Amino acid sequence: MSHSQSPHGKFRSYLAIAATALLLNACGGSNDKVSDDKQSTDKSTAPANASSKELNIGFTQYPSTMHPNIESMVAKSYIRGMTARAITIFNHDWELQCSLCVELPTIENGMAVLEQTPEGTPGIAVTYELPANASWGDGTPLTTKDIQFAYEVGRNQKTGANNMEMYRRIYQLDILDQHRFTVHLNKVTFNYNVLGDFYPLPEHIERSIYEEDAYEYRHRTQYNANITNPGLWFGPYIVSDAAQGSFLVMTKNPHWHGKAPYFEKITTKAIGNTSAMEANLLSGTIDMIAGELGLQLDQSLAFESRHGSKYNIIYKPGLQYEHIDVNLENPILANKQVRQAMLYGMDREEMNQRIFSGRQPVADTSVSPMDRSASDNIRRYSYNKDKAMALLDSAGWTDIRDGIRHNAAGEPLKIEIMSTAGNKTRELIQQILQSQLKDIGIDLRIRNEAPRVFFGQTTRERRFSGLALFAWVGAPENVPRSTLHSTEIPTAENNYSGQNYSSISNPQLDSAIEAVEQNLVFADRLPHWETIQQIYAEELPVLPLFWRPNSFILPHWLKGLEPTGHLDSSTNWIEYWSRD
């Protein structure tokens, strides 16, 4: 066998070329453009109308659907923070609190009560109360009828709702009156009072559509067909205008029951190309770039070096997990040795240092070191070319032709990687990985798609043939049932609910996930958390990359925006944003 040269010299020169290309692209690639940017910056940071109550936000993706209980996408969560609220939410201190309830139910305050299920097993009944003055944007009162309807939609597997486990777990819903309801859980879990994926649905608008055809409901819902219907929303804002794939305009909800927001109008603009995002900011077309879904760290650092004094730039570390999902049904990737070889062949720390200035730590599993459930007793994969090649040899990929490994049947070691088109940082990472894996004999092919297609179909329906590069954003001590449990594999039969895109099915992993959920005492959960992380690091259904800080690029005049660092975006407190 003949092997190519050590990757470091080639990799470093490649990084220098790629980084220069990114910088030129961001600057426009000419002195004239740089000059234009400098002239227009004053406009965006000191607007002519300093009393304006409009805010223009740039982010990189347009939601594939606006239905609150179908599909998970950061872009939708960002908009949903303005237009709807979950029953419970994690706050800026990473503590659970009410968002659409009067008081957080606990065992201590008697609003959560241990009981037996009809099968005689331990369960728990949890009672919530909606705010008495909550209304939909058309003035219709928001009541437990809307809770009941959302429960029916979520329980029906034909709809393909998010978090099917939550609806399975809630085996019974009792409506006590117009504002109070009790969920009966079929097991005792430490997160018994977390109801962050449960959003009421407007029964007066959606029921007839749902009852006509439950399977097609996800496509025919008014959340897709007529999103400017005010009766769909109950947050501080309603959607008043939209252009598919381009922008959404939110205006004040006259029937909002909470604190009145400062801004009269908020426009979110989906700008898929991150270089175009910078240009829009510098020209004053947008006022800010959302940290939850804006520039990645390397681009923000480059932007700060050129324009930092004119903006308030916040770097918020947290639970943003950049990773590569692996299609375990691919015969090549089904071999654990190949997956381990790939991770050994990726010099992630070199990327962290040279692209992200050492500020984007390498990930070992899907549990962040910032989370109290993280374990140190796990397998780690530092860059090791010799280990990578030995594993590939052992897996039968021993015949190297023109630098690419082949097996005994003459098949090439060729794998496709997909991600979101227009994201310059991810495209750069793909190209670096392509170079690094070529050095151990793997032919990595890049094919990207628009985010709405990539998240709306490709990942959700597991259409990627090999690898899918994207990020998850989690909540504190987030149990990975939806992404790792065998019952959460999306299929046509369940209308592609669940987020186990790699299709891992491991009984020991399932048992550990269930054991974590069922222990109320944190110390009792820790051994099971460690088991989850150990299996994850050994089996590698997902290739961990980085823990990504979010970069918020804000005008100095914007006050009240506070990043959370977790699943619940800053827009859940948008009524506290203002202009100084």
CATH of the domain at 516: 3.10.105.10
Q: Is residue 12 part of a domain?
A: no
Q: How far is residue 319 from each of residues 283, 338, 478, measured CA to CA in Å?
A: 32, 28, 10
What confidence tens digit (pLDDT) does each residue in 511-549 have? 999 999 999 999 999 999 999 999 999 999 999 999 999
Query: What pLDDT does 422 receive?
Result: 85
- What total number of domains does the chain contain? 3
Cβ atoms of residues 406 and 392 within 8 Å: no
302, 196: one domain = no
In the block, residue with structure tokens 């040899």:
393
326: number of Cβ within 10 Å: 26
Q: Is residue 557 part of a domain?
A: yes
Token pair listed for 231: 């009766």
> Rounded CA gap, 201 and 70, in Å?
11
> Rounded CA gap, 353 and 414, in Å?
28
In the block, residue with structure tokens 């190297």:
400
Query: What pLDDT does 485 receive?
Result: 96
In the block, residue with structure tokens 């043939």:
465
What confidence tens digit (pLDDT) does each residue in 97-109 have? 999 999 999 999 9
Count the helices and strands in the chain (H runs, E runs).
18, 22
Residue 192 sits at the vertex; the CA angle it makes with 91 and 500, to the nearest 5 degrees, is 85
The closest of 393, 438, 398, 402 to 417, measured between CA atoms, is 438
88: number of Cβ within 10 Å: 22
Domain containing residue 155: CATH number:
3.90.76.10
> Rounded CA gap, 406 and 438, in Å?
13
Task: Indicate if the alpha-carbon torsion angle 247, 252, 258, 260 is positive or negative.
Answer: positive
Our measurement of the distance from residue 282's CA atom to the centroid of its chain's CA atoms, rounded to an integer in Å, reads: 27
Strand partners, 323: 470, 544
DSSP-derived secondary structure letter, 357: T
Residue 240 sits at the vertex; the CA angle it makes with 290 and 291, to the nearest 5 degrees, is 5
345, 414: one domain = yes
Token pair listed for 442: 């793997």
Cβ atoms of residues 318 and 549 within 8 Å: yes
Give residue 442's domain range. 319-547
491, 448: one domain = yes
What does the pLDDT profile of the chain (580 residues) look like in tens digits?
A: 333 333 344 444 445 434 433 333 333 333 332 222 223 233 334 443 556 899 999 999 898 889 998 887 889 999 999 999 999 999 999 999 999 999 999 999 999 999 999 999 999 999 999 999 999 999 999 999 999 999 999 999 888 887 778 888 999 999 999 999 999 999 999 999 999 989 999 999 999 999 999 999 999 999 999 999 999 999 999 999 999 999 999 999 999 999 999 999 999 999 988 789 999 999 999 999 999 989 989 999 999 999 999 999 999 999 999 999 999 999 999 999 999 999 999 999 999 999 999 999 999 999 999 999 999 999 999 999 999 999 999 999 999 999 999 999 999 999 999 999 988 899 999 999 999 999 999 999 999 999 889 988 999 999 999 999 999 988 899 999 999 999 999 999 888 888 999 999 999 999 999 999 999 999 999 999 999 999 999 999 999 999 999 999 999 999 999 999 998 999 999 999 999 8
145, 263: one domain = no
Query: What pLDDT does 273 receive?
Result: 85
Q: Is residue 214 part of a domain?
A: no
413, 481: one domain = yes
DSSP-derived secondary structure letter, 420: B
Q: Is residue 22 part of a domain?
A: no
- Dihedrals φ, ψ of 502, to 5°? -75, -20
The closest of 206, 131, 128 to 173, measured between CA atoms, is 128
> Rounded CA gap, 411 and 395, in Å?
13
135, 282: one domain = no
Residue type, 38: K
Q: Which residues contact 458 (CB under 8 A, 6 or more apart)?
A: 418, 449, 464, 468
Last residue of a domain, one of 165, 189, 207: 207
115, 134: one domain = yes
407, 509: one domain = yes
Q: Is residue 221 part of a domain?
A: no
In the three-class reduction of DSSP (H, G, I as helix; E, B as strand; rest coil), residue 245 is classed as coil
Strand partners, 420: 449
Domain containing residue 295: CATH number:
3.40.190.10
Query: What pLDDT does 51 receive?
Result: 60
> Rounded CA gap, 111 and 198, in Å?
18
Last residue of a domain, one of 207, 227, 254: 207
Report helix angle 274-283 to 31-45, nearest 10.
60
Token pair listed for 526: 């820790």
Q: Residue 124 half-sphere exposure, CB side, CA atoms within 13 Å?
A: 20
302, 329: one domain = no
> Rounded CA gap, 82 and 75, in Å?
12
167, 188: one domain = yes
> Rounded CA gap, 196 and 162, in Å?
11
In the block, residue with structure tokens 């923070």:
81
In the block, residue with structure tokens 């234009």:
36
> Rounded CA gap, 416 and 444, in Å?
6
Q: Is residue 79 part of a domain?
A: no
190, 248: one domain = no
> Rounded CA gap, 27 and 103, in Å?
50
164, 291: one domain = no
Q: Is residue 20 part of a domain?
A: no
Q: Is residue 13 part of a domain?
A: no
Strand partners, 68: none
254: number of Cβ within 10 Å: 11
